[in-house]
Structure 1
Amino acid sequence: MAAQPATISDADKAELARLQQRRAELEKQIAALPAPTKVYAVLTEPPPPVKLLKRGNPEQPADEVSPVSLACVTGLKPELGTLQSSDGDRRKAFAEWVTSPANPLTRRVLVNRLWHYHFGAGLVETPSDFGLGGGLPSHPELLDWLADELLAQRWSLKAIHRLICTSAAYRQESNSGSVPRPSGSGSADPRAGPLPDGRGTDRARSIDASNRLLWRMNPRRLDAESLRDSVLSVSGKLNAKMFGPGYRDFEYQEEYAPVYRYITPDSPDLWRRSVYRFAVRTTTHQFLTTLDCPSPANLVPARNTTTTSLQSLTLLNNDFMLRQSSYFADRVKSDAGTDPATQVTRAFQLAFGRKPSPIEATAAEALLESRGLPQLCRMLLNSNEFVYVD
C-alpha cells in the first residue's frame, strides 16, 4: 500500500504563520540593536619564575627572586609579593606602591608635567628624567607643595589645573610681568616680579634672562594641533562631535609595501578636533610637522619650538589655511553684513576676542577695500596675536 502524504491542519498552518511572523519581527529588532560594546580584559597566567642572572648572563641563572620595587624610596616597603603571588596580586601591589601617600615620586613627576604644559617648561626642565642625569628644580619647595596638594585634592588633575591657571605666576604678561609686588617690597629679586610701573624689569632681565624664576610669563606659540583647531573654530567649521572613531586624513594603498598618503578633502568629517586624528606612526603630517608636531614614531617628553620661513609660508599658502580663510570671510559677512567697518570689527572679535584699535581699523579697512575680505581674514589668522599666547 502506498504511503499517504501527511496533511497539516488549518490550525497548524495558522500557528506556523504566526511563529514565522514573530521570528521576522524578532530578527528585525535584533538587527536594530546597537553594536555591543567591546570590553578589553587581561587574561592572567601564572607569572614565570624570575631568577638572578650572574653578571647579567641569561645563561647563568641563580636563585629565584621575588617581585620588588625600588628599595631606594624611603618610607615604603619595596616588596610587591612573594614567589607564590599571582600576577594580579603583583599588579595590585605595584599600583598601591606607585600611588601610596608615602611615595612622592609619582606626584612630583605628574605635577611637573602639568606645569610644563602651562608654562612651556617644567619646574624640572627634564620631565622624563628626575634622576642624576636630569635637571634640578627651579622651585623645589613649590614642586613638593604641588605634589602634596595633588594628594590633598584626591589626585584631581582638574583641581591642579585650576590652581595653576589662577596663580599670580600664570596671570602675568609676557612683556614685563603684570602682577605687582607686595607694597613696601624694594627687593630686586626677580621671583617677586617687576614693579607695576616697569621698574626692576631691566634688573630682572640681567639676573634671569631665561626667565627660569618666572618673573614674567613666557610667550609661546600655539602647538600645531591647537593652532589647527583655533583656525577651525574662528572660521566656524570646527566639528564639535565627541567620542566615536577618529577621522582619517590619509589614504591607504598597498604597493610594494603599505603606503599612507595624506589627503586634504574639504569635508566636515575632517574638521573635528585634532585629538580625534588617527595618527600613522610611519608617516608624518605635512602641515602639523612643519609647525613642530613630532613624528608619531617617536615619544618625546618636550617638543622643540623652531621659527622657520617654511612655517610662515605654510600658514600663508597651505590649502587648509586658504580654505578656512574663505570660510572665515563667509562667517564675517553673514554676521556683519556688507558694511566694511562692521566687518573689520567682527573679524577682530572672532580672531582676537577684542575690537580693533583706531589704527588697526584704518589699516584693516584699507586692506579690505584693496584685497577683499578673505585676504583680511587670511592676514588675521597669520598674525602674531593669533598664533602666539602672550
Structure 2
Amino acid sequence: FGRGLVSTPNDFGTQGQPPTHPALLDWLATELIRKKWSIKALHRTILLSATYQTAAADGPAQKLYGAFTPRRLSAEELRDTLLTLSGSLDLAMPEGHPFPKGRGFSQHNPFRANYEHTHRSVYLMVQRIQRRPLMALFDGADPNASTGQRRLSNVPTQALYFLNNEFLHTQAAGFAKSLATKPDRDARIQHAHTRALSRPATPSELANAREFLTAYTAAADETKAWAAWCRVLLGSNEFLFVE
C-alpha cells in the first residue's frame, strides 16, 4: 500500500507513532502465526484483499486504507518490468559473483564491480560504497543506513533516464522487436499498450502513435521508429505508476 500501519517503521518505541489500525495489525499477526510464519502467505492474503484490488481514489479513503494509494514503481520493480517487456528476464537463480582478482583495496583504490545480468533485481549485488545508478536515481534503499521507508522523489533526471539511458534503450529495442509478431501497425500498438499499461490504446492514442511512427520512419528505418515509440510509452506516468 506504499506505507505501513505504523508511520515510523524505524521506531516502534515510545517515541514512535501508534498503529493507525491496531485491530487489523492484531489480525494480521494472528494470520501470520496461523500460516506458520510464512511471509509469502501473508503477502498473498493482502494482495487478494478487496481493499488492495480497489481502484485508486483521492481523499480520506487513501489514509484509511479504503482504497489503493497510487504509487510509483520501485527501482527493482522498474528494472524487472523492463526486462520482462523486452523478453530478457531470466527467472532462474544466478550463480555467485566471481571474487575480484585485485588486492590491496583502500580509500583511494576502492573495490568497485558492477556485475550485469538479466536475473531479477533481488539478485543484484549491493555495494555500500557504490550504489547502482538506477537504484540511486529511483530511490532505492541506501545500503549505508537502515531504510525503514524509502523516500520518494520526482526529479528531471528520472525523465531523462527514459530518453538517454543505455539499459533503457536496449530493453525498449527488445520490446519493439517482440511486437513484430503482430500482423499490422495497429495490432502492434494495441499489443504494446496491453503489455505495458494493461489496457488497450484509446482512439486518440492510436492516432498519435500512427502519426509518430509515420514521421519517424520518414527519417529513420522502421525498427528504430518502433524502438523510439516504445521509449515514449515506457516514459509515460501511467507505466511508471501503479493505480
Please confirm whether the aligned pair reaches a TM-score higher than 0.5, indicating the same fold.
yes
1:260 aligned partner: 112
1:346 aligned partner: 191
Q: 1:163 to 1:261 in 2, by over 3 A?
A: closer
The residue type paired with residue 74 of structure 2 is D
Write the distance in 1 (CA, Å) between the matches of 2:226 and 2:159. Answer: 20
**1:185-200 map, 5 Å:** none
Q: 1:238 aligns with which of 64, 85, 89?
A: 89
The residue type paired with residue 367 of structure 1 is F
Contact map agreement 1:252 1:260 (CA 8 A) in 2:
no
2:167 aligned partner: 320
Give the Å deviation of 1:127. Answer: 1.9
Q: Does 1:304 align with 2:151?
A: yes
1:121 aligned partner: 3
Give the Å deviation of 1:165. Answer: 1.2
Provide TM-score, normalisation by structure 1: 0.55
Give the Å deviation of 1:243. Answer: 4.5
Q: Does 1:160 align with 2:7?
A: no
1:370 aligned partner: 215
Write the distance in 2 (CA, Å) between the matches of 1:322 and 1:226. Answer: 17
Give the Å deviation of 1:304. Answer: 0.4
Q: 1:231 to 1:252 in 2, by over 3 A?
A: farther
Provide TM-score, normalisation by structure 2: 0.87
Corresponding residue SS for 2:50:
coil
Q: 1:302 to 1:235 in 2, by over 3 A?
A: same
Write the distance in 2 (CA, Å) between the matches of 1:236 and 1:225. Answer: 17
Write the distance in 1 (CA, Å) between the matches of 2:122 and 2:175. Answer: 22
Corresponding residue SS for 1:258:
coil
2:138 aligned partner: 291
Corresponding residue SS for 1:169:
helix
Give the Å deviation of 1:330. Answer: 1.3
Give the Å deviation of 1:219. Answer: 0.5
Write the distance in 2 (CA, Å) between the matches of 1:280 and 1:156. Answer: 29
**1:95-244 map, 5 Å:** 119-176=1-58, 205=59, 208=60, 211-244=62-95
Give the Å deviation of 1:379. Answer: 0.9
Give the Å deviation of 1:319. Answer: 1.0
Say which structure, 1 or 2, has more relative contact order (CA 8 Å, 6+ apart).
2
Give the Å deviation of 1:215. Answer: 2.7
Contact map agreement 1:345 1:355 (CA 8 A) in 2:
yes
Contact map agreement 2:94 2:119 (CA 8 A) in 1:
no
The residue type paired with residue 222 of structure 1 is L
Count of matched residue positions in the alignment of Structure 1 and Structure 2? 233
Give the Å deviation of 1:247. Answer: 8.7
Write the distance in 1 (CA, Å) between the matches of 2:67 and 2:178. Answer: 36
Corresponding residue SS for 2:51:
coil
* Higher Rg of the two aligned structures: 1
For structure 2, the 5+ residue unaligned runs are 217-224
For structure 1, the 5+ residue unaligned runs are 1-118, 177-204, 264-268
Write the distance in 2 (CA, Å) between the matches of 1:222 and 1:251. Answer: 36
Write the distance in 1 (CA, Å) between the matches of 2:194 and 2:207. Answer: 16
Contact map agreement 2:56 2:67 (CA 8 A) in 1:
yes
1:181-211 CA distance string (max 9 Å, x none) = xxxxxxxxxxxxxxxxxxxxxxxx3xx38x3
Write the distance in 2 (CA, Å) between the matches of 1:368 and 1:226. Answer: 28
Give the Å deviation of 1:238. Answer: 1.2
Corresponding residue SS for 1:144:
helix
Write the distance in 2 (CA, Å) between the matches of 1:246 and 1:121. Answer: 34
Write the distance in 2 (CA, Å) between the matches of 1:271 and 1:233. Answer: 10
1:5-64 CA distance string (max 9 Å, x none) = xxxxxxxxxxxxxxxxxxxxxxxxxxxxxxxxxxxxxxxxxxxxxxxxxxxxxxxxxxxx
Normalized per residue, the structure richer in helix is 2
Corresponding residue SS for 2:52:
coil
Contact map agreement 1:252 1:258 (CA 8 A) in 2:
no
